Amino acid sequence: MNILLLGSGGREHALAWKMLQSPLCNTLFVAPGNAGTATIAQNINISPLDFEAIKSFVLEQAVNMVVVGPEDPLVKGIYDFFKNDAALAAIPVIGPSQHGAELEGSKEFAKKFLVKNNIPTAAYDSFTKETVEQGCAFLETLQAPYVLKADGLAAGKGVLILQDLAEAQQELRNMLVGEKFGQASTKVVIEEFLDGIELSCFVLTDGKSYKVLPTAKDYKRIGEGDKGLNTGGMGAVSPVPFADDAFMQKVEERVVKPTIQGLINDNIDYKGFVFIGLIKVGDDPFVIEYNVRMGDPETEVVIPRLQSDLVELFIAVANQKLDETVLSVNPKSAATVMLVSGGYPEDYEKGKVITGLNKVEGSIVFHAGTSVSGDDAVSAGGRVLAVTSYGHDYKEAIKKSYQNIALLHFDKMYFRTDIGFDL
């Protein structure tokens, strides 16, 4: 079949790499893709948000399936766009409907969904400009640290965790009245702080049944010891050693099953990935957030561990026959380390030539922010490459990635040397 994958990051390179291993995949198009996907698939210069251009392309090229990498097209309703168009309705889109995508698009929607379905999560309330004073009063009933979350998508920057009450009240005003995050902060969720260790659980669902994919832990901060500014993610490992069978059984019973049942109860069309951000408090899982697509860089460790045919799984998702498939997972660990542009996540330069790609042995280099320039791959974003390796445990996998990173270079390349330090 002909498949169109939307997106341009390391996540999409990993999804493309895996789909191309399937005998069911004839031609893979990636819109817009990067220098990595260009070497294995056909990049096309279309924005994942230009639904009309996607429609024309899909019809011209007889595309049989669309796989959506990032959240934006989902939150903007690409699933519904296909479903409601007579010419496109028969072409499956792997991803949730716009209604389902609200689990990521609106933190208040997600919190309501969690509470309604009795899924463990931090206690919360939400406020608007009109109720800002009630919000300040609510903060007084909580203990530090205070967690303020802009309701809408804010590129991972919309969550503030503050130690001081007065500062938290001021920031609440800045968000609601001062529109600190624009439209995204017209509503703010205030929630109880949960003290624990974070991990991510990934689920593939056809809207009726589900498969729990391998767990992963990512490292969000720019600096060693997980200090400094937040990034899109500096590395990841899978599986997560502290998510043992007993814990994962709790996750499945208390979180995954009620999540899928909640979608069914609310008639939410959902055929795609659910990314559940968890925090382990003591021995118990609590949900921090839902995302409606795979994580990046978690995809670069989760997908390489799948032994099942990903295209076959996607077809089963589209036909709601996931319960008839078997998910097989490589028992080895996988780790990835992100190579980023110096200065990221603040200002950084692009267009730096990447060398050493052909010297790498025993790791997979997934491209993130790269593009093709003549015969070279050059940096084109903050996060540039994800170097993934397997090992008998995460330490061996990480070591392999660092050995290969020594062979790679671009001007002002930076990476963390402590991925997995807290496991």
Rule CB under 6 A: which residues touch ligand ATP? Answer: 122, 147, 149, 156, 158-159, 191, 193-194, 198, 277, 288-289
What is the nearest approach in angstroms of ligand ATP to the Cβ of residue 248?
Answer: 20
Distance CA 376, CA 11 (A): 21
Count the neighbouring beta carbons within 10 Å of the beta carbon of residue 23: 8
What is the nearest approach in angstroms of ligand ATP to the Cβ of residue 255?
Answer: 15
Q: CA geometry: angle at 162 spanning 158 and 166, to 5°? A: 115
Distance CA 60, CA 26 (A): 16
Quick one: 122 or 384, whose CB is closer to ligand ATP?
122
Quick one: 152 or 207, whose CB is closer to ligand ATP?
152
Distance CA 158, CA 136 (A): 18
What is the nearest approach in angstroms of ligand ATP to the Cβ of residue 239?
Answer: 19
Quick one: 67 or 150, whose CB is closer to ligand ATP?
150
Quick one: 53 or 281, whose CB is closer to ligand ATP?
281
| Nearest of 219, 160, 220 to residue 185 by alpha carbon | 160
Is the Cα torsion angle 294, 300, 305, 311 positive or negative in sign? Answer: positive
Residue facing ligand ATP at closest CB distance: 156
Quick one: 156 or 225, whose CB is closer to ligand ATP?
156
What is the nearest approach in angstroms of ligand ATP to the Cβ of residue 403?
Answer: 29
Quick one: 15 or 110, whose CB is closer to ligand ATP?
110
Strand partners, 3: 28, 65
What crossing angle do the helices spanning 310-318 and 10-19 adopt, rounded to 10°?
Answer: 90
Quick one: 338 or 378, whose CB is closer to ligand ATP?
338
